[in-house]
């Protein structure tokens, strides 16, 4: 039950979907008059959140199954990786047979209370995490997917005063109506309050998408500094300065550029735990000693040669007319941080998306 409820609130908002799942669970219990004790309800919600501290009397390994906050190897990831790979007619980097064998060999370490796996499946586990990063690189963070995501977000923001979409996430009755039909409803409406939203969605249909003005892979050591430095305001300012060397037409375009016309998108593609390698957290046992648990490295079967986390920067413009001038402005910003002209600072913490 916890696994199914966990999936209910994963779309369409970029927010803590576990909270939405718990809200939906409470609504299901209430509306269907399900006879479940408060203790059991709290346990289900604790599993959804992956928070053992909420029900410390329960067995710890149960919290490794649905929303594993310890090492990230859980059925939620298994589900969406298999699902999305199948929908795209791609091949899984790890076979379903290997995954079945992995799960059938799972054991609980009596010392830590966490699920562990047999050492012959170390490669299977690593490949699972590699496949996750591959999909984030080539699908979830593809530039076109990212551009359309921002356009849908802008369309919903434009429609929010009229449709009150942002309030629906707190109302389970309205929340379940938040599906793709909303976009169809907006596009078919002749309501003047939805004109701006309708215009953005029509641009998606005609492939008049936000355009990429720059991109870069960023080293882990440089990521905090660059993330703090590269902003729409700085790119707009650099664009206006660069326009002094442009022709009169581009100068005129640059003169009306606003930071709100620029999107700066940072993303991190990793094994599910940011710059931390979950392979260093997971424990494995051998067939020769079922109760002796070791890290993957200590078995001698795992020796990673590259960082598990990769950081990327994408810059978009919302209007085609700004593309070339913003490219020049971004290029100047890029030269600044490449040549280490940007001072070291204490930027915001990195999200582990």
Tell me the domains of the chain and their CATH numbers.
Answer: 1-67 (no CATH), 210-270+309-344 (3.30.70)
pLDDT at 342: 55
Question: What is the spatial distance between Cα 89 and Cα 239, in angstroms, rounded to a whole number?
Answer: 42
pLDDT at 341: 54
- Residue 298: both structure tokens together: 């200590």
- Which residues are CB-contacts of 305 (< 8 A; sequence separation ≥ 6)? none
The per-residue pLDDT of the chain, averaged, comes to: 90
pLDDT in tens, 75-108: 999 999 999 999 989 988 988 899 999 999 999 9
Residues 256-278: b if buried by 16+ CB within 10 A, e if exposed: ebeeebbbbbbbbbbbbbebbbb
- Residue found by looking up tokens 């399900």 in the block: 34
Q: Work out the average pLDDT over 119-140.
A: 95
The H or E element containing residue 265 is: strand 262-269
pLDDT in tens, 263-283: 999 999 999 999 999 999 999
- CA-to-CA separations, 299 to 108, 112, 113, 184, in angstroms, rounded: 18, 19, 21, 55
| pLDDT confidence bin for 15, thresholds 50/70/90 | low
| pLDDT confidence bin for 20, thresholds 50/70/90 | confident
SS3 230: coil
| pLDDT confidence bin for 54, thresholds 50/70/90 | very high
Q: Work out the average pLDDT over 53-63.
A: 94
| pLDDT confidence bin for 154, thresholds 50/70/90 | very high
- CA-to-CA separations, 49 to 59, 77, 168, 205, in angstroms, rounded: 15, 14, 21, 37
pLDDT in tens, 285-311: 999 999 999 999 999 999 988 889 999
- Residue 122: both structure tokens together: 């170390």
| CA quadruple 348, 71, 58, 5: dihedral sign | positive
SS3 15: coil
Question: What is the spatial distance between Cα 210 and Cα 317, in angstroms, rounded to a whole number?
Answer: 6
pLDDT at 221: 87
pLDDT at 19: 82
pLDDT at 339: 65
User: Percent of the chain having pLDDT more than 90?
Assistant: 79
Question: What is the spatial distance between Cα 225 and Cα 342, in angstroms, rounded to a whole number?
Answer: 8
Question: What is the spatial distance between Cα 225 and Cα 311, in angstroms, rounded to a whole number?
Answer: 12
Q: Work out the average pLDDT over 222-226.
A: 92
User: Percent of the chain having pLDDT more than 70?
Assistant: 91
**What are the strands, taking DSSP E only, across 109-210?**
115-118
- Which residues are CB-contacts of 287 (< 8 A; sequence separation ≥ 6)? 118, 120
- Which residues are CB-contacts of 291 (< 8 A; sequence separation ≥ 6)? 110, 285
Q: Is the pLDDT of residue 351 over 80?
A: no
**Own/partner long-range contacts of 201-207 (Cβ < 8 Å, ≥24 apart):** 201/151, 201/152, 201/155, 203/151, 204/148, 204/151, 204/152
Q: Is the pLDDT of residue 10 over 50?
A: no
Q: Is the pLDDT of residue 251 over 50?
A: yes
Tell me the whole-structure pTM to 2 decimals: 0.86
The β-bridge relationship of strands 283-286 and 115-118 is parallel
Q: Is the pLDDT of residue 258 over 60?
A: yes
Beta bridge partners of 262: 317
């Amino acid at each position: 039950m916890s696994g199914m409820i966990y999936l209910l609130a994963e779309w369409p908002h970029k927010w803590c979907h576990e909270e939405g799942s718990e809200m939906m669970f409470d609504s299901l219990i209430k509306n269907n008059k399900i006879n479940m004790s408060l203790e059991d309800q709290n346990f289900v919600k604790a599993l959804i959140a992956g928070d053992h501290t909420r029900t410390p009397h329960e067995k710890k390994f149960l919290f490794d199954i649905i929303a594993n906050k310890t090492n990230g190897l859980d059925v939620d990831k298994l589900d969406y990786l298999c699902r999305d790979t199948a929908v795209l007619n791609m091949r899984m980097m790890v076979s379903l047979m290997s995954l079945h064998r992995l799960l059938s060999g799972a054991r609980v370490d009596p010392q830590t209370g966490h699920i562990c796996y047999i050492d012959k499946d170390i490669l299977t586990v690593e490949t699972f995490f590699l496949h996750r990063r591959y999909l984030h690189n080539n699908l979830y963070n593809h530039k076109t997917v990212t551009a359309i995501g921002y356009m849908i977000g802008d369309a919903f923001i434009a429609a929010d005063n009229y449709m009150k979409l942002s309030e629906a996430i707190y109302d389970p009755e309205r929340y379940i109506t938040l599906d793709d039909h909303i976009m169809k409803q907006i596009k078919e409406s002749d309501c003047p309050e939805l004109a701006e939203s309708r215009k953005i969605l029509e641009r998606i249909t005609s492939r008049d998408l936000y355009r990429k003005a720059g991109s870069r892979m960023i080293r882990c050591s440089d990521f905090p500094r660059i993330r703090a430095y590269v902003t729409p305001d700085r790119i707009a300012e650099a664009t206006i300065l660069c326009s002094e060397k442009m022709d009169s037409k581009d100068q005129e375009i640059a003169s009306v550029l606003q930071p709100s016309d620029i999107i700066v998108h940072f993303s991190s593609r990793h094994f599910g735990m940011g710059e931390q390698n979950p392979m260093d957290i997971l424990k494995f046992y051998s067939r020769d000693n079922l109760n002796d648990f070791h890290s993957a490295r200590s078995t001698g079967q795992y020796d990673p040669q590259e960082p598990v986390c990769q950081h990327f920067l994408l810059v978009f413009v919302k209007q085609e007319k700004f593309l070339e001038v913003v490219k020049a402005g971004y290029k100047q910003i890029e030269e600044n941080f490449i040549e280490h002209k940007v001072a070291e600072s204490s930027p915001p913490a990195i999200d582990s998306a």
